[in-house]
């Protein structure tokens, strides 16, 4: 006991007198419990670090201590915590860190004064503002900001298949143009386009679309080429050696020359009338030279005519480009005699023609300058684009399909068996000769009856209503009682005469945070699996339910961003911890915004109903929600029914919208 204090006093001295590096060295070499209040001094080391001068050192020390497990809620004999200190001294940066790591801004000291009160008393208005936002998020009473506090720009478009990723980035000059048209246009366009291709294929029209211009708004960093392809995984190849395209420039220098040319046949009747369709002969040659320039210089020899009113076609052209480029690299890809397409994504290869499924992702940059927040939003398109590849020329091509549901008789190798079991929610032990057959049987049983199995594996127990709905979907056959409750609740909120908490402006929404590690791009799979499976996955993946404001749709992630920026991966707040975990895995949190444009009270009510039906202990929420209006008088059963119905609607929204993942911009996706 004494020795610990001795060490701790030493640390105290170092923090007070020496530089950051000494502190770091000390923490790395000595194992001390830093969460102790020092006798005589009356504070802990974190208290000290938060309040010292200069600011720079203070921030670094705070960060270090938090990384080494400092407790932001350690209270001394007067009940003062580091959070209080940061508020008193107006250390906003420190405060953000502390709160991000689980510091409680509403905790009171023994005089009954909270950090909030201290900020007011000491006239630390920066702190006041910040705390206001934080508290607002959990329990808000303040007025609604109406203006938009963020920018959302398209950052890149990713086209992926099993093997490759192609990236497109908008050129700076043209960005304004694209922004003005916003994401929806692109989405629509892509959707429409893929649908058209889907429908048409393999009936190829005589019509063609030709692209002429190379300098359209898609380019990568070098400004000379358009595309960055990464080979995603190794594929077994017979005959030809694989295209080794990587974004790493250095790799290209030792690439051997490779050439591929192709004639593309496809028409795009879905595109606006301003683009003329011609008989085309689109020759693309993809050359990967030993040039040190990034990737192949794509030489397009194309003759084309685009007659248009400019504004419309620019974007369309850009998107055409995406399409075209995609085809282009697929051409390179076509060299291989073996191609894999994954049947699990809903479309299977037809024997008559070869198709490649590509998923289009868009990435947007979300910026909130006030809060110094940058997030990347990745939107996964629901429908994969089916890319037609010309046929006939490669007679010896074979298509391997990897179906996700192989019959039982097919022998799995141990690896496949393991991954399949994990996919179904079971973590198997070592698979060896003595256990193999057991796991095969288990897998078989799981497939025969996946819902119950999955449900058991999560170890979560939901409310009665939800459990029933997970077992079978009989409840969907008669939705009217659910609809009645919702209409009743909803109509009450539409009554303009009532004054609601936080006013009547329709600027709120309810959001769900989903874990992408569980959903695995559910919307893309939704069509190929039963509703029941989707439903179960969806319910299991929800980890947080909250209410948000339109002016800052991603405010709920800010809290996790501060510790993230400082490389702290631990937080005592469950929600923050979960988000950090997801980011650490290189994925983004899925934010599902549902029930847009409703008044705050309504959003709170919906939030509460959904929390009730899932159960607080299955979520990372800290408390149950509040009901307002008519909903206050609902029985508990009715409330849960409301929640269940809302969740069901949310799932449909999710499936229609596609997955949107949010991550800080320094996390690498994929």
Partner 1 sequence: MSSTSQKHRNFVAEPMGEKPVTDLAGVGEVLGKRLETAGFDKAYVVLGQFLVLKKDKELFQEWMKETCSANSKQSADCYQCLKDWCDEFL
List contacts with partner 1 (CB under 8 A). 428-430, 432, 434-435, 437-439, 441-442
3-state SS class at 529: coil
Task: Report, in Å, the least distance between residue 451 CB and partner 1.
Answer: 17
The two structure tokens encoding residue 233: 């995984």
State which residue, 123 or 434, has the beta carbon closest to partner 1: 434
For residue 386, the cross-strand partners are 357
Tell me the C-alpha distance between 434 and 139, whole Å: 56
Start-to-end CA distance of the chain, whole Å, equals 48
Task: Report, in Å, the least distance between residue 455 CB and partner 1.
Answer: 15
DSSP 114: B
DSSP 631: G
State which residue, 432 or 477, has the beta carbon closest to partner 1: 432
Residue 527: which residues within 8 A CB-CB, separation 6 or more?
A: 346
Beta 338-342 vs 398-402: how paired, if at all? parallel
The two structure tokens encoding residue 283: 């020759």
Residue 241: which residues within 8 A CB-CB, separation 6 or more?
A: none
State which residue, 434 or 478, has the beta carbon closest to partner 1: 434
State which residue, 89 or 439, has the beta carbon closest to partner 1: 439
State which residue, 440 or 630, has the beta carbon closest to partner 1: 440
State which residue, 431 or 466, has the beta carbon closest to partner 1: 431
State which residue, 420 or 638, has the beta carbon closest to partner 1: 420
State which residue, 61 or 431, has the beta carbon closest to partner 1: 431
The two structure tokens encoding residue 24: 């770091």
Check if the beta carbon of residue 394 is closer than 8 Å to that of residue 334. yes
* Upper half-sphere CA count for residue 511 (Cβ side, 13 Å): 21
Q: Beginning with the edge strand found earlier in the chain, give each strand of the sheet holding 297-301 in spatial order.
A: 258-264, 282-288, 297-301
State which residue, 120 or 440, has the beta carbon closest to partner 1: 440
**Is the sign of the CA dihedral 605, 611, 615, 616 positive or negative?**
negative
Task: Report, in Å, the least distance between residue 411 CB and partner 1.
Answer: 18
Check if the beta carbon of residue 267 is closer than 8 Å to that of residue 209. yes
Q: How many CB atoms lie within 10 A of CB 308?
A: 16
State which residue, 238 or 434, has the beta carbon closest to partner 1: 434
State which residue, 416 or 438, has the beta carbon closest to partner 1: 438
Beta 228-231 vs 258-264: how paired, if at all? unpaired
Task: Report, in Å, the least distance between residue 430 CB and partner 1.
Answer: 6
Task: Report, in Å, the least distance between residue 521 CB and partner 1.
Answer: 29
Tell me the C-alpha distance between 85 and 72, whole Å: 10
Tell me the C-alpha distance between 492 and 582, whole Å: 38
3-state SS class at 330: helix
For residue 210, the cross-strand partners are none
**What angle separates helix 555-565 from helix 574-584, to the nearest 10 degrees?**
70
Residue with the two structure tokens 């959070």: 83
Check if the beta carbon of residue 659 is closer than 8 Å to that of residue 516. yes
Tell me the C-alpha distance between 107 and 549, whole Å: 25
Task: Report, in Å, the least distance between residue 269 CB and partner 1.
Answer: 56
H or E stretch including 545? Answer: strand 542-549
Task: Report, in Å, the least distance between residue 445 CB and partner 1.
Answer: 9
Task: Report, in Å, the least distance between residue 617 CB and partner 1.
Answer: 25
Task: Report, in Å, the least distance between residue 537 CB and partner 1.
Answer: 23
State which residue, 306 or 443, has the beta carbon closest to partner 1: 443
Task: Report, in Å, the least distance between residue 421 CB and partner 1.
Answer: 11
Task: Report, in Å, the least distance between residue 450 CB and partner 1.
Answer: 16
Task: Report, in Å, the least distance between residue 644 CB and partner 1.
Answer: 30
Check if the beta carbon of residue 524 is closer than 8 Å to that of residue 380. yes
């Amino acid at each position: 006991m004494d020795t610990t204090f001795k060490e701790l006093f030493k640390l105290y001295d170092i923090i007070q007198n020496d530089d950051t590096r000494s502190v770091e060295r000390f923490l790395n070499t000595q194992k001390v419990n830093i969460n102790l209040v020092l006798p005589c001094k009356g504070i802990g080391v974190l208290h000290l670090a938060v309040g010292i001068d200069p600011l720079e050192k203070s921030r670094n020390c705070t960060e270090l201590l938090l990384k080494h497990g400092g407790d932001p809620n350690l209270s001394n004999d007067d009940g003062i915590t580091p959070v209080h200190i940061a508020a008193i001294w107006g250390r906003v940066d420190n405060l953000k860190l502390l709160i991000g790591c689980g510091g409680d801004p509403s905790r009171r000291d023994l005089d009954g004064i909270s950090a909030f009160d201290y900020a007011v008393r000491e006239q630390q208005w920066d702190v006041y503002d910040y705390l206001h936002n934080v508290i607002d998020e959990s329990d808000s009473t303040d007025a609604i900001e109406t203006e938009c506090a963020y920018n959302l720009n398209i950052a890149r478009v990713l086209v992926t298949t099993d093997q490759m990723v192609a990236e497109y980035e908008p050129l700076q000059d043209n960005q304004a143009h694209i922004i003005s048209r916003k994401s929806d246009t692109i989405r629509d366009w892509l959707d429409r386009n893929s649908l058209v291709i889907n429908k048409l294929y393999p009936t190829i029209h005589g019509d063609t679309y030709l692209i002429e211009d190379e300098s359209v708004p898609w380019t990568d960093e070098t400004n000379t080429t358009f595309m960055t392809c990464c080979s995603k995984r190794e594929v077994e190849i017979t005959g030809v050696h694989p295209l080794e395209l990587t974004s790493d420039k250095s790799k290209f220098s030792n690439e051997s020359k490779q050439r591929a040319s192709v004639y593309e046949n496809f028409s795009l009747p879905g595109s606006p009338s301003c683009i003329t369709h011609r008989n085309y002969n689109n020759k693309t040659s993809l050359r990967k030279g030993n040039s040190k320039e990034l990737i192949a210089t794509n030489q397009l020899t194309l003759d084309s005519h685009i007659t248009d009113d400019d504004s419309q076609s620019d974007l369309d052209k850009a998107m055409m480009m995406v399409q075209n480029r995609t085809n282009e690299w697929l051409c390179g890809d076509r060299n291989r005699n073996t191609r894999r397409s994954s049947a699990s994504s809903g479309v299977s290869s037809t024997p008559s023609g070869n198709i490649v499924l590509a998923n289009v992702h868009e990435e947007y940059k979300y910026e909130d300058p006030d809060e110094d927040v940058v997030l990347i939003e990745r939107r996964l398109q629901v429908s994969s684009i089916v890319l037609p590849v010309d046929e006939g020329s490669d007679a010896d091509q074979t298509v391997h399909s990897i179906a996700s549901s192989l019959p039982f008789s097919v022998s799995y190798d141990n690896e496949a068996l393991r991954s399949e079991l994990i996919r179904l929610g079971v973590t198997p032990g070592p698979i060896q000769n003595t256990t193999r057959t057991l796991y095969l049987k288990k897998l078989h049983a799981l497939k025969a009856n996946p819902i119950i199995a999955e449900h058991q594996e999560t170890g979560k127990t939901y409310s009665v209503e939800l459990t029933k709905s997970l077992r079978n979907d009989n409840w969907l056959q008669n939705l009217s009682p659910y609809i009645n409750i919702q209409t009743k609740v909803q109509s009450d909120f539409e009554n303009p005469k009532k004054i609601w908490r936080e006013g009547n402006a329709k600027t709120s929404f309810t959001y769900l945070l989903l874990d992408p590690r569980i959903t695995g791009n559910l919307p893309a799979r939704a069509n190929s699996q039963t509703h029941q499976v989707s439903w179960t996955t969806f319910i299991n993946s929800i980890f947080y339910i909250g209410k948000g404001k339109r002016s800052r749709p991603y405010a709920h992630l800010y809290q996790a961003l501060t510790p993230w920026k400082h490389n702290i991966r631990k937080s005592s707040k469950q929600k923050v911890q979960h988000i950090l975990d997801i980011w650490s895995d290189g994925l983004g949190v899925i934010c599902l915004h549902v029930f847009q444009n409703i008044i705050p009270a309504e959003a709170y009510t919906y939030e509460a109903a959904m929390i009730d039906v899932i159960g607080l202990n299955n979520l990372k929420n800290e408390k149950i929600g509040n009901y307002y209006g008519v909903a206050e008088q609902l029985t508990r059963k009715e409330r849960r029914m409301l929640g269940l119905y809302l969740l069901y609607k949310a799932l449909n929204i999710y499936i229609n919208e596609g997955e949107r993942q949010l991550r800080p911009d320094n996390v690498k996706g994929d």
